[in-house]
Amino acid sequence: MGVLNVTADSFSDGGRHLAYADAVAHARRMVAYGADLIDVGGESTRPGSIRVDEADEQRRVLPLVRELRSEGVAVSVDTMRARVARSALADGATIINDVSGGLADPDMLRVVADHGAPVILMHWVSPDDYRAGAGGRVDYGGDVVGSVRDHLARRADAAIAAGIDASDIVLDPGLGFAKNSDDNWALLCGLDQLIDLGFPVLVAASRKRFIGSLLHGGDGVPREVSGRDAATAAITAISAAAGAWGVRVHDVAPSADAVRVASAWTAGKAGTS
């Protein structure tokens, strides 16, 4: 799942693909490198970000959806707004990726259900918590995996109650959203518990701060964003081998290779069992 941020302030590549032509070119490169799905987002959710106007979000996202679908590219749209989702689905978007898990907009789940579309539901605490970043980390009662698992199960139940088919639900543990480094690593180690819910699981770790913190220099300063792709690919390999449905990444080529390695390794294990 290749990340296409058409924003001015995303933590990794804000502003680099804001222009339409640049965004289309980058999407085409990601597809050529092995992306199965392009995730288009017109609003940053980085810590400290300010929500964009709905009209601006639609202006950024919808032309790209139309162009990429005309080229046969599968597109997900990263939005928390039901009206943006409705327009994107009408223009051919394949999946809606809602980081709020359908909580930010009460109409979101119904809109997705009306279109018979798949949805990605991320673990969400509250807008204040996730936008606060590390400072917004909440108390998970000593069991972040269990807490996130229970929350996602409830969101899946809500989606089904709204009319979304269970087979169209993907869950995302929300790495980096109101979670510290220990929380994030615990969730990655506990992927099997999330997968056991019976829904596909998306891992979105790419270039996030907890990776930078792991790779800090001797001064303790997190490694810069541009130096986190190799570690991201390592997480991709581990996630794929663990049975994740997909990974959401900025640098597609190394993660596509990592998926191939994980697939071969898993097949090799099966062949020797």
Q: Which residues are catalytic?
A: 208, 248
Nearest C-alpha neighbor of 166 from the set 194, 198, 195 = 198
Helix axes 229-242, 181-189, angle to 10 degrees: 40
The answer to whether the CB of 63 falls within 8 A of the CB of 93 is no
The answer to whether the CB of 131 falls within 8 A of the CB of 48 is yes
Residues whose CB falls within 8 Å of the CB of residue 44, separated by 6 or more in sequence, listed in order: 5, 7, 8, 9, 10, 11, 14, 52
What distance in Å separates the CA atoms of residue 257 and residue 206, rounded to the nearest whole number?
A: 15
The rounded Cα 171 to chain-centroid distance in angstroms is 10
Report the DSSP beta bridge partners of residue 247: 203
223, HSE (Cβ side, Cα atoms, 13 Å): 17
The 10 Å CB-count burial string (b at 16+, else e) for 28-66 is: bebbeeebebbbbbbbbbbbebeebeeeebbebbbbbbe
Q: Which residue has the tokens 């992306």?
A: 35
What distance in Å separates the CA atoms of residue 130 and residue 90, rounded to the nearest whole number?
A: 29
Nearest C-alpha neighbor of 80 from the set 105, 53, 112 = 105
Distance set, CA 123 to CA 145, 148, 149, 199, 247 (Å): 11, 6, 9, 14, 16
